[in-house]
Structure 1
C-alpha cells in the first residue's frame, strides 16, 4: 500500500451491457435477445452455456460461492443466514424506496429476527463494496437538495438479481428499471432518483403536498436528463401516471420516457420524448435522439 500509493488506477469492470451482449451473440431476434438479457443478465460466462438450466445454475453458484463467500470471509461475518436473507430481501425490492430501519422492521416482524438497523446498514455497505448492489440517493428537483430519509438499491446485473429469486419472480418492470440504471452508469452519468413536490388545495381549502417521483436524473457536466422507466403505457391513465412528474418539472432539460415496446422515437405536445428500450440500449447517443 505504501509503495504503490498514488501510482495505480482502479478499473471497474462492468457486466456486459445489452449492446455488448448483442455484439457477442449476434441474435436473429432482438426482442427475444432482450428477454434473455433481462432474465440471465450480462455476466460474460453465461454466454458459454447453451441451456437456461445451465445458465441459472452457474449464476446461483456464482452468487453463493463467489460473492457471498467473499463478503463473509473478508468482513468476518458470523451470521451467514442474515446476510443471505438480506440479499434475497433486496432482490425482492429492487427499485423500491427503503432504508436500514425499514429493512430491520421487516426482519423483526416477518422473520422474527432481532437484527438491528446498524447491522443492516453495515451489511448493505459490504454488498456495495463487493459490487453486488448500488445505492441511489434521492434529489428534490425544485428544492435543489438531497433527501436522505430513503433511497433505492439496484443490482449490478439482472441475472444476479434473478438468481437470488431462483428465477421464479421476474418483475419485469423493476428489472427494466435496473437495466436502465446500469446503462446510465456505464455511460458515465451520475444518477439520482428525482422527487417533485406539488401543492394543491383540497375541498376544505387546506394545502396538500403530493410527492411525485422521476425514476432517474442523469447528469454529466452541464447535461441533465430526466428519465422515466415505463414497462407499458397501454391506457391513458397509465400514461398520465408515468408522465405526471415530468410535466411538473419546470426547467428546460430533456425529459424522456423509456418503454418496453420497440418503436420509432416520438415526442408529445409537452416536449416529452418516448423511446423503446431496445433502441435506447443499442444507441449510445439515445439520450439525444
Structure 2
C-alpha cells in the first residue's frame, strides 16, 4: 500500500490504521486520531490522517460508514465509523478479537450488509444511536448488534435505540443469543442464523 500511494511515513500510517482497527465501531474524528498520535509523540496533520484513511479504504483494509440523522435523513458531517474489511487484520495487528467481541460482531454484520448490496449508514435518533441503517432498492432496514442480551439494561438499550423512528421499516436486533426475543414488533435474531440466511 505504501508503494502504490506514495506515502512516505509507513510507521505513521501503520499507527493510524491500528488506532482505527482498535476503535472499530466507535465514532471517530480526525482530531481523535491526531490526539492519539500526539500521545504517541507523533505530530501529524488532519489532512495527512484523512489521506491515510482514504488510502486504507481504497486498499479495502477498512470501510467508512457515514453517520446520518435517521429522522431527518441527512448525512452528518462529523463522527464517522470505520470497520475492518477482514477481522483477521485486527488479530494480525495484535488486537484481540476475543476482548472486543461486540466490535467484531458489529464489523461482521456491517461487511455482510455491504456484501448483500446495501448502502450502510450509522443512524442518530436524538441522543441514541442505531448501529446500521441499510438501504437497497428503495427499502430500508434498521439493525442493532450486541453480543448477548444478558441484562434488562442491554435489552432496553438495544430495543430502545429504535424509539423515535416513526416509519414502519423492519427493525432487527442481532445477538448471539440462542433464542432471541422480540419486543414491540422489533425482531430479535441470532447473528449466525442471520448470516446463513435462515
The TM-score, its normalising length taken from structure 1, stands at 0.66
CA distance in 2, matches of 1:243, 1:230: 11
Deviation at 1:250, TM superposition (A): 1.5
Deviation at 1:167, TM superposition (A): 4.2
**1:249 pairs with 2:138:** no
CA distance in 2, matches of 1:96, 1:166: 15
Does the C-alpha gap of structure 1 residues 130 and 156 become closer, same or farther in structure 2, counting only changes over 3 Å?
A: same
Determine which of 2, 22, 37 is the counterpart of 1:92.
22
**1:186 pairs with 2:102:** no
Which residue is 2:190 aligned to? 276
CA offset digits 1:196-230 (Å, max 9, x no partner): 01xxxxxxxxxxxxx11000001101221010001
Determine which of 84, 105, 125 is the counterpart of 1:155.
84
- Flag as ranges the 4+ runs of structure 1 deviating above 6 A: none
Which residue is 2:136 aligned to? 220
Deviation at 1:74, TM superposition (A): 0.9
Which residue is 2:42 aligned to? 113
Determine which of 65, 80, 84 is the counterpart of 1:136.
65
Structure 1 stretches lacking a partner, 5+ long: 1-70, 198-210
* SS class of match (1:148): strand
* SS class of match (1:175): helix
Deviation at 1:247, TM superposition (A): 2.3
The TM-score, its normalising length taken from structure 2, stands at 0.95
Which one has the largest radius of gyration?
Answer: 1
Deviation at 1:169, TM superposition (A): 5.9
Does the C-alpha gap of structure 1 residues 182 and 99 become closer, same or farther in structure 2, counting only changes over 3 Å?
A: same
Aligned length in residues: 198
